[in-house]
Amino acid sequence: MVDRRTRLTFWLVAALLCGSCAVAPAGDTAAPPPIGPTAVTVLLAGDAMLGRNVAPVAAADPDGLFVDVRREIRQADIAAVNVESPLTDRPHTSPNPYALEANPQRATLLAAAGFDVAGIANNHAGDAGPLSVVDSVGAIGDAGMRVVGGGINLTGAWAPVIVETGGVKIAFLAIDGSRQGLAATASGPGVASWDPDRARSAIVAARSVADVVIVGLHGGVEYRTRPDPLLGPIADELAAMGADVVWGHGPHVEQPISVTDPNSFGRPTLIGTSLGNFLFDQRRPGTDSGILLAVLVDRSGVVAHRVGDVDHHDLRVHFNGWRPPDGDAALVAGGLWNLDRPVALVDTSIDLPSFSEGTVVNAGTSDLDGDGISEFLVSYRHPLRDKSGDPAPPPPTDASGLSAHLGVIAADGSPIWLSRRPPHPVGYVAACDGGAAFAYTALDDDTVISTGVGVWSGFGFVLESDLSGPGTIGCADVDGDGHLDPVIVGRSAGEP
């Protein structure tokens, strides 16, 4: 009598050799090595104000100010924030009544939180006079960060900050779109004030020395949560000029994120006209929260993005998690991201004609555990088994009395993991490197009703949030590291 393992091994070996296989196992046809550097992550935050009512909190609890968000900031390769308070000891001299000036030493708190770049191109930068801009530039530099959007003269204010990480050169520019800040002159300190010709020249110059151009843009209609009628047109101009990302702030509340069609450079532009308040003491509705915009970029521009929620109801910043994608998605760089440009799907499915544990619905093969040897991921059905004494309710069954299951099988045919009950019936699987994508269906209908992805833990999958609605699952090397990442395409923007 042939035992179960022998039968399973037979069919797995047969599947490896059969001509009907969609692709050979990942271990036999490994993805080609990446060309050039892998993608890197940039994290962008909105308005940070360290003066006024925030000042006593910063003095009394400096470590607590950003402790709850520090991990997310430091995980990025590069992080940038707009500093809306002049970092100076000089008195407030502006005719506006908003004295936002902060102790210059507070710049060290932003640096300690993990920020690398600080923008100062905003309407409050010169509220304590022209020399307060010089003070802010000095305080930011002394804290170990790079300053963008302001300087001792016009040339300095418009100069890009170039940061290289992971082989990718990223240029930052920052512009005061409100035109209410202290504008730099040929010989006097100030900020880069919106001027289409100067902006175009600055972006062209930045593109000549960097792979990716990120432009900070300040201004807009305060407290407006809809697309901004002032910053929107400027952002579109910047996109047409060649900006890869428009990093907007100023309205003090969150506004929608959008992705443009490819510009004349063949690249889409990621636009966030307002990331809201990262830290402020305002109390209007929506002003005690904001978003973090994380962007995955490589030498060819924006790859993907995700949005994280923060609030500062107690004048300390708290991170409240990353939102699920609202369109095409990829499990990459430690989370589930919105895909912002097309990817080439790799078919890892395999024709597994028989499986001793039950009836095969779909199967795929990849190196799930990173040991260089392919495993098999199988979606299958089998008759409901008697689990007398099990307090958990039995899994649902289809019209034939079969329940849905998922399994990972070693190359020698031995089971590594067999699920008792997936969170939803799995109709289709895409086995990738270190993780997988799943298409969920009803038990008696193969129509895809939702999708999901997960990282292989060694005994089961750590699942990300399910994504409702149909989608096509697959694998692609999204970040250029030579490994296939789980992806879901064909989703409509706006799907939760």
Q: 215 with 245: CB under 8 angstroms? A: yes
pLDDT exceeds cutoff 70 at 475: yes
Cα 470 to Cα 388: distance, rounded to the nearest angstrom: 37
**Predicted local confidence at residue 373, as pLDDT:** 93
pLDDT, tens digit (0-9, with 9 covering 90-100), for 297-319 = 999 999 999 999 999 999 999 99
| Residue 420 predicted with pLDDT over 90 | no
The domains located in the chain, with CATH, are 4-31+344-489 (no CATH), 40-314 (3.60.21.10)
CA atoms of 307 and 162, how far apart (whole Å) = 24
Check whether 480 has a pLDDT greater than 60.
yes
Sign of CA dihedral 337, 339, 344, 350: positive
pLDDT at 396: 87
User: How sure is the predictor about 4, in pLDDT bands with cuts at 50, 70 and 90?
Assistant: very low
Between 24-33, 80-89, 246-255, 422-431, the lowest mean confidence (pLDDT) is in 24-33
Closest CA to 337 of 395, 286, 285, 294: 294
CA distance 102 to 50: 6
Query: Between the CA of residue 163 and those of 142, 299, 301, 391, what are the distances in Å?
Result: 17, 13, 15, 57
Q: Which residue has the higher pLDDT, 58 or 386?
A: 58
pLDDT band per the 50, 70, 90 thresholds, residue 49: very high
DSSP annotation of 469: S
In this prediction the pTM is 0.90
More reliable by pLDDT, 418 or 15: 418
Q: Which residue has the tokens 């001299």?
A: 93
